[in-house]
Structure 1
Amino acid sequence: MERIETGRGTLLRTPPGPWLPAVVQSVVFTWWRHRWAASLRAKFGDVVSVQIYPWRKVILLYDPKHIAAMFAAPPAKFSAGEGNRVMAPVMGHKSVFMVDGDEHKRLRKLMAPLFGRNAVRGYQDMVRELTRAEVDRWPVATPFESHDRMRELTLDIMSRVTFGIADGPRFDRMRELLGRLLDMDLIVLMGLNVPGAHRVGPWRAAVRLVEQIDTLVYKVIADRRTDPELAERTDVLSRLLVAGGGPDGLSDLEIRDQLITLLIAGHETTATGLAWALHELARDKQVAAEAAKAAVLDDTAYLEAVVKESLRMHPVIFEVTWTLTEDVELEGFRLPEGSTVMPMIGIVQNDPANFPEPHRFRPERFLEGPIPPGHWAPFGGGARRCVGANFALMEATEVLRVLLAKRAIVTDRRAPEAASSKHVAFAPAKGALISAPPLVEVGGDGR
């Protein structure tokens, strides 16, 4: 890549990109980035510069080698909190998603053991129990939107994981408020980063909604502090409170931010991933039959491959956002300090150069050997990989294990559903409409 000669020496070129006004780029990126990103790559290559609110200077990455190098870089070279700040008014400025440096290390140290592989296995029975109850409520012959049902289920699951209980008037009210929060329009969510907007229209209502949720959460925290069985409880809230007795303990504000982050990120993303999986299974009888067989035979590997393939074809989060803390040279380009770097996961995971026949739903590709670094990253990577990734994979796998052993998944709509931007996630535009008639035979354990 050529360099620009000036009287002060040789300068690296900045990455190419569109010349549209920043406001136009922001609008297009917000609602149609899954389409726009592909056209940008075709026109400008694997490193593209755009201007997007609220990050301003954004560098889009499409090459798996660049993405793998980014994830492997020392944490000091990047900050993720700045890139995630669009969610800060809701998740909180002390969320593990928002903080960096030593503060992030401290939170990861406290949170990671709660979601290690051994820890998440302790939640399997609970996930199966709640899934059985959910599936028993499904209609027998009437089509329904699976995304709605998965949102209800995963909210119940995450409420149990986070608080240990999910029953009673207080938690019914919390579920109602969280449902309204998750239905918030993306423009409203982004506007919460503008203090002046808090006094008007939908932004004022959104601020009030967050305040109502906070009131409930702080009441639960206060009550749990006085629970005589606190030390024996295994839910996230209780374990964070117990950890609060040590030198790395958390304040009520920090605990609140982690709980809300888990409820939002752990609930909506898994629900959407499951809805996409059911959408694909309903449209492919052969894969659905293999998955149903795996459910009855307890073939965890195949069921997990179904989840991973769904996340490959339909990544719930289309991109990762990290901000550079120093200038970086990449492929002859200068990426300046303060730029937000976005690996375009949704494009990379559907690139035929990375995954042959990318538009074919084929779980077997995740059973045929390791996936190269940078090719599959629905949970991000490196020091900022999602702390709940192990739990999310276990949860989705167990949900499929139960429901596919009890119900067939079919649809009369053969065309794939489009992806629609919901908050920062991409969900099935029509809710992943399916029918789920009971199977003639169910596994011996009644699942």
Structure 2
Amino acid sequence: MLPPRIPQPSLLQLHQWVYRPIQFMEESARRYGESFMMQFPNAPPFLLTSNPEVIRQVFTGKPEDLYVGPVNRVMESMVGKNSLLLLDDQEHIRERRMMTPPFHGERMLAYGLSMRESANRVIDRWTVGKPFTLHEQFQDITLDIILKTVFGLTQGETFEHFRELFIRMLNLGSHNAVLLMSALLPPERMLKLLSVGREPIHLGPVKADLSRFLPWAQLSRLMKEVDTYLYAEMDRRRAEGVEKREDVLSMLMQARDEDGQPMSDQALRDEAITLLAAGHETTATTLSWALHRVLQHPDVEARLREELRQVAGTEPLAPEQVSRLEYLDATLKETLRLLPVAPAVGRVLQRPMKMGEWELPAGMAVMPCVYLTQRRPDLWPEPERFNPERFLGKRSSPYEYFPFGGGARRCIGMAFATYEMRIIFAELLRRVKLRSATRAETRVGRRGVTLAPEGGVLVVVESRS
């Protein structure tokens, strides 16, 4: 027996998933229940579910039975086929082991001061009384942190050049037109389409170059420039002695598998771009949603400020004090419960399997829905209410709360991201008092594979500490 299926045409379902994801998920759940089948063009149907038991089966299943790569194939044109997001089974296990050391909890203390400096660089330029878009500012901070901690770049002309280059690449990569084309076309067709960015397009007698107007063509040109830099940078570091450096890219260059083999240059490139793409937009978006909610709840803001005073006094937060900000941690968790950056995660069945009450065929994808599961009233009383207290002194089930995914595929950068968010948010609370600069409710919009605030959350600085 199969779950109920959405009867709409597959192209219409894809359009709604890309352009009105929240409404589409909520309307479908009301009509079809906690598990239902969706269909996109040129792809098998897939099961979207908020059933905790099915989610448990997905997250605890054997890696050889449940693949992630086919689900994440829409990102291959940017992150590359060697990305941890696309690898499965033993390839994934090997690569993940090699990538784990730079993201171990103890490494966070080494990154903490750099994170705080990046936050202050941006906060310093905010003008009292002048409105600005918060999401863009957080993107600036998180990109700055990635350039320093992941790529090992330092301030200067080269730093600023690649900051601009990466911003343009990431903005184009999150363009909904690119996402739509990636979902419609097989990976090899999308990669071929990207190649138009390298040659002019001529339509018959009209000798016009149209490639500069196509987002995927512009993306291709930028990615080629980024790749040229990364390969040259890796060669330079090997020549100078990569063991002298402590940034993530250099540590990955030194990593070896159980057979003593390093990552290939192509794999290093793909993982570096993956960390850039995954760590920039997602963290900035969560911080934007968190502050948007906090500004709507003065009692939460007051408690956050009091906790920060108790932990750090009037001084900047020290890296070793971050773990003591329990209410701030609960606030960020509650933000991720209500507004997860990714609406769903998925696995593709490599053999027929029974999931819950459903007998599912091989080749079908099962998608635990983060958004719907974390708003179930039977799991989360008053699910629409912003209430950080629900996370104080409570350990949530990994099958009811999973904003970073679950099982062996849980986000490898989770510790890095949560540590980074607490440092940035704490520094903002210490330095400035903000208020919302708009009365309109901020709506959820899609930026590529993530859900971000439309308009970016407009705020204004009321005062500085």
Shorter-chain TM-score above 0.5: yes
Could you tell me which of 327, 341, 349 is aligned with 1:324?
349
The Cα shift of 1:204 comes to 2.4
Could you tell me which of 186, 197, 204 is aligned with 2:193?
197
In structure 2, the partner of 1:243 is 255
| Inter-partner Cα distance in structure 2 for 1:351 and 1:409 | 32
| Inter-partner Cα distance in structure 1 for 2:43 and 2:245 | 41
Q: Size of the alignment, in residue pairs?
A: 427
Contact 2:53 2:356 in 1 (8 A): no
Could you tell me which of 124, 127, 139 is aligned with 1:139?
127
Could you tell me which of 217, 230, 240 is aligned with 2:230?
217
In structure 1, the partner of 2:319 is none
1:118-133 correspondence to structure 2 within 5 Å: 118-133=106-121
In structure 1, the partner of 2:309 is 296
In structure 2, the partner of 1:362 is 387
The CA deviation string for residues 33-72 of structure 1, in whole angstroms up to 9 with x for no partner, is 2211112122112221111246432110111222122111
Secondary structure of the equivalent of 2:46? strand
The Cα shift of 1:373 comes to 2.8
Could you tell me which of 455, 458, 461 is aligned with 1:430?
455
Could you tell me which of 274, 281, 289 is aligned with 1:268?
281
The CA deviation string for residues 379-431 of structure 1, in whole angstroms up to 9 with x for no partner, is 00001000000000000011111110111131143553110000000111120
Contact 1:115 1:391 in 2 (8 A): yes
The Cα shift of 1:352 comes to 2.0
Task: Give the aligned residue type for 1:261.
Answer: T
Matched, 1:282 2:295: yes
Instruction: For structure 2, list consecutive stretches of 5 or more residues without a partner in the other structure.
Output: 202-210, 312-323
Task: Give the aligned residue type for 1:379.
Answer: F
Contact 1:244 1:251 in 2 (8 A): no
| Inter-partner Cα distance in structure 1 for 2:228 and 2:112 | 30
The CA deviation string for residues 125-167 of structure 1, in whole angstroms up to 9 with x for no partner, is 1111221222111121112111000000000001111122242
Secondary structure of the equivalent of 1:226? helix
Contact 1:15 1:49 in 2 (8 A): yes
In structure 2, the partner of 1:5 is none
Contact 2:66 2:349 in 1 (8 A): yes
| Inter-partner Cα distance in structure 2 for 1:313 and 1:235 | 33
1:314-393 correspondence to structure 2 within 5 Å: 314-393=339-418
| Inter-partner Cα distance in structure 2 for 1:321 and 1:53 | 17
Secondary structure of the equivalent of 1:436? strand
Matched, 1:188 2:178: yes
The CA deviation string for residues 166-199 of structure 1, in whole angstroms up to 9 with x for no partner, is 4233332222222122222222244353345333
In structure 2, the partner of 1:6 is none
TM-score by length of 2: 0.88
Contact 1:295 1:402 in 2 (8 A): no
The Cα shift of 1:337 comes to 1.0
Deviates more, 1:239-248 or 1:383-392: 239-248
| Identity level (%) | 33
| Inter-partner Cα distance in structure 2 for 1:175 and 1:54 | 36
Deviates more, 1:317-326 or 1:237-246: 237-246
In structure 2, the partner of 1:3 is none
Instruction: For structure 1, list consecutive stretches of 5 or more residues without a partner in the other structure.
Output: 1-12, 441-447
Task: Give the aligned residue type for 2:152.
Answer: G
Matched, 1:254 2:267: yes
In structure 2, the partner of 1:42 is 30
Secondary structure of the equivalent of 2:451? strand
In structure 2, the partner of 1:206 is 219
Tell me the C-alpha RMSD between the 2 structures. Answer: 1.8
Task: Give the aligned residue type for 1:429.
Answer: E
